[in-house]
Amino acid sequence: METILNKSAGMGAILTDDASTTFRVWAPNADKVFVIGDFNDWKKDEFELELEDNGYWAGVTEKCKEGDEYKFLIINGKNEYERNDPYAVEVTNSNGNSIA
């Protein structure tokens, strides 16, 4: 039986007490958005976010833990952009990764 995980409110990486993490980002021109990071071996096609209203994308996973590094992978046509989370509380460095 598959567990249904509820999305948390807020932006960025929202870690919850039930060991899940919601990711939400505003990317109004994106065709697709993924989260890549330590928790999924940086696989570009494993964790796709769902389009919400007004250009927001969100998804929830139980794989990401506090301290994991990650980026948003934004797909626009044939272009791919790896971007840090503008709401990240911590980053490894200015060109590095966001930290959950």
Please write the tens of the pLDDT for every residue from 16-65.
Answer: 888 899 999 999 999 999 999 999 999 999 999 999 999 999 999 999 99
What is the DSSP code string of 72-96?
Answer: EEEEETTEEEEE--TT-SEESSTTS
| 60 contacts 50 by C-beta, under 8 angstroms | no
SS3 state of residue 53:
helix
- pLDDT category at 10 given cuts 50, 70, 90 is confident
Q: Which helix (H) or strand (E) holds 15?
A: strand 12-15
**What pTM value is reported for the model?**
0.90
What pLDDT digit, counting tens, does each position of 80-90 carry? Answer: 999 999 999 89
